[in-house]
Amino acid sequence: MNSLHGHPRIFAGNASRRLAADIAAHLGLELDKCEISKFSDGEISVNIAESVRGCDCFIIQSTCEPVNDNLMELLILIDALRRSSAERVTAVIPYFGYARQDRKAKSHDPISSRLVADMITVAGADRVLTMDIHAQQIQGFFKIPMDHLVGAPTLATHFLDRIKNGSSDDFVCLSPDFGSVSRARHFAHQLMDCPIAIVDKRRPRNNVSEVMNLIGDVKGKHVLILDDMIDTAGTLRNAAVAVTEAGALSVSAAATHGVLSGKAIENIENSPLSELVLLDTIELPEHKRSPKIKVLSTAEYFARAIECVHNDHPMTPMINSLYDQVCN
């Protein structure tokens, strides 16, 4: 490893302790010690319990619910490590909150994801490592390097065996909206070039969607709905109902981030879905678990990415090797 920094130092925020421990284990390390607590008025307190002078530090913290608390934890952890003379600080944000506020949808709207990017930079992060950010342009909001991982290889591996046991023509990859078509097409390519279909939806207000049209043939097919995140699962439920009514034999879904807010679990359990596969970028509490939900680990993936950053190796060959493993 890079002798300049020794081995990577891995710190966990409260949102991602389980994932951080798994990442550290894949690196043959233990989590570094830090104490995160709250004062009586709700302010967050962070104490780094050991020296990090001259070290290469990685903070594992998704900015999921409670979003603002977890974001502040991340910012304060960055500041604490910077003030403790860490040589480099990388914010590893498996799920990047505020990513859906990436533009002015109407007059006088903020661009909150740009503000969050500025806050992370000003706090002292040297680079950011994230996965399947909702809007690609957010990479341009940062003035520091940002490495962007994709969850598709891990998700594709889960479904590929059942496709290999049948025919790719028996399966359809469904995009839940026009904005996700390129993602669905790329995913379908990994699934032995199975055909794709598209849901034309309208969103009358936030967190509410309506299926208007189904573009593509799903009759007599096994349908796999792909999205980057599942929030209230309203879109997912409506899409599953639409393809079932159109004659689909079965409906499964896959997504990188399980936000699962509001009535998400109710929507999932009351839908025709047979399975929802998520990655562990957001830890699911017990009340958000369901027999229909399966969670896959990203720990080895993030560990390999951290090794690339630590050793100043390019990320692309590592990501390409994952795609090659799926395709072969």
Among the listed residues 265, 262, 313, the one whose alpha carbon sits nearest the alpha carbon of residue 286 = 265
Cis upstream peptide for 145 (omega within 30°): no
Q: Check 201, 219, 292, 294 and give the catalytic one.
A: 201
Phi/psi for 173 (5° steps) reads -95, 120
Any catalytic annotation for residue 106? no
CA angle at 267 for the pair 262 and 270, rounded to the nearest 5°: 150
Phi/psi for 54 (5° steps) reads 75, 10
- Distance from C-alpha of 241 to C-alpha of 136, rounded to nearest angstrom: 29
What DSSP string describes 135-199?
-GGGGGG-SS-EEEE-SHHHHHHHHHHHHHTS-GGGEEEEESSGGGHHHHHHHHHHTTT--EEEE
Among the listed residues 272, 271, 236, 278, the one whose alpha carbon sits nearest the alpha carbon of residue 254 = 278
Decide if 198 contacts 174 (C-beta within 8 A).
yes
Return all residues near 60 (Cβ < 8 A) that are at least 6 apart.
10, 11, 12, 13, 16, 19, 20, 23, 92, 94, 302
Decide if 292 contacts 274 (C-beta within 8 A).
yes
- The single residue listed with the structure tokens 């390999």 is 304
- Distance from C-alpha of 136 to C-alpha of 9, rounded to nearest angstrom: 28
Q: Give CA separation, 241 vs 148, 173, 219, 259, 277, in Å.
A: 33, 15, 13, 21, 18
Residues marked active site are found at 201
